[in-house]
Amino acid sequence: MWDNIAILTAAPVFNIQLLLDGLFIGATFALAAYGLALVWGVMNVKNLAQGDFVMMGGYIAWWLGTQGIHPLWGLPASIVIMFAFGWAVYVLMIRRVIDKDMFTSLLATFGLAIVLAQALNLMFGPEVQTAESDFPIRSYFDNAVTIADIKLVAFGLCGLLALAVVLFMKNSRMGQAIRATAQDARAARVMGIDTDRVYAFTYALNAAICGAAGALISMIWVIQPFYGISHSIRSFVIVTAAGFGNLPGVIMAGLGLGVMEQYGGFVLGAEYQQATVVALLLGVLVWRQIEMRRHRQVVQ
């Protein structure tokens, strides 16, 4: 561990590599987490199937890649397919848990996560996969930093998608209806907004965002049927740290998580990378609790 830290201080250029890798992967985390913040904030549904939606999007892009279609086309394909899938899931189950207590949605989506992970496993096998995008890999800083072009492309696409979602939420009628429902569902219903449709759209939009994040992850990183749960945990870490309705916070927390994970994996060893995510979750929860305790004391 100390050896690895020594490497980082002796050759600062390694930091750039870790930092950039972290930012590129963190951008996709932030995208998926924004979807979670959306359903959590609007519908009060804690979607534990988030990471499995991401994996589904990844497998759509990867499968298109194996069929001879460039996986970048998988991005629009998975957005469309996942939107329809999200709508179907809403109609079949989420509609019925939306007004139940909070644990119900958590457990129901956990069941969904198990079904999806296993279905992916049966369809595509348990191997770790990467969608080949055939972009060149370039070196910078005297060959000390190597970056695949696809990572830059994916980073740009992440930004574009986030911008599109923000503009949609701000300007379109549906976006306004979603924000109105989030503020006060009952008042929105009185004003003639079909909240059921708004919920369905929100959930489908979340699935589409996850699908897009997954398609990008399949090109710049790896996918595997059972990696869904760690992506769900990541989304929860980000949303819990940032709070919902706080888009800059979600982006910062997402990028930060990506960077911290890279550093954790490098400094402590690759086997600790998963543990870093979970440890961060616990850290965030403890920190929140300390803050709550301070808040309670102030109130008293």
Contacting positions for other proteins (CB under 8 A): 46, 93, 96-97, 100, 102-104, 106-108, 110-115, 117-119, 122, 229, 233, 236, 240, 269, 271-272, 274-275, 278-279, 281-282, 285-286, 288-289, 292-293
Residue 118 CB, shortest distance to other proteins, in Å, is 4
Residue 34 CB, shortest distance to other proteins, in Å, is 18
Residue 195 CB, shortest distance to other proteins, in Å, is 19
Residue 217 CB, shortest distance to other proteins, in Å, is 20
Residue 151 CB, shortest distance to other proteins, in Å, is 26
Nearer CB in complex with other proteins: 178/229: 229
**Helix, strand, or coil (residue 129):** strand
Q: Report whether 164 contacts 177 (CB < 8 A).
A: no
Nearer CB in complex with other proteins: 93/247: 93
Nearer CB in complex with other proteins: 157/239: 239
Nearer CB in complex with other proteins: 195/240: 240
Mention every residue, 6+ apart, whose C-beta is less than 8 A from residue 80: 208
**Tokens found for residue 166:** 């923000």
Helices 102-124 and 228-242, packing angle to 10 deg: 150
Nearer CB in complex with other proteins: 102/163: 102
Phi-psi domain of 125 (left: phi exceeds 0; alpha: psi -120 through 50; beta: other): left
**Tokens found for residue 130:** 């990467």
- As a whole number of angstroms, the distance between CA 247 and CA 24 comes to 18
Residue 235 CB, shortest distance to other proteins, in Å, is 11
Nearer CB in complex with other proteins: 23/280: 280
- Which ranges of the chain does DSSP label H, i.e. alpha helix? 2-10, 13-43, 50-66, 74-89, 95-97, 102-124, 149-171, 173-183, 185-190, 195-220, 228-242, 247-268, 273-299
| Chain centre to alpha carbon of residue 161 | 13
Nearer CB in complex with other proteins: 93/153: 93
Cα dihedral across residues 222, 226, 231, 234: positive or negative: negative
Sort strands 145-148 and 137-140 into parallel, antiparallel or unpaired. Answer: antiparallel
Residue 206 CB, shortest distance to other proteins, in Å, is 16
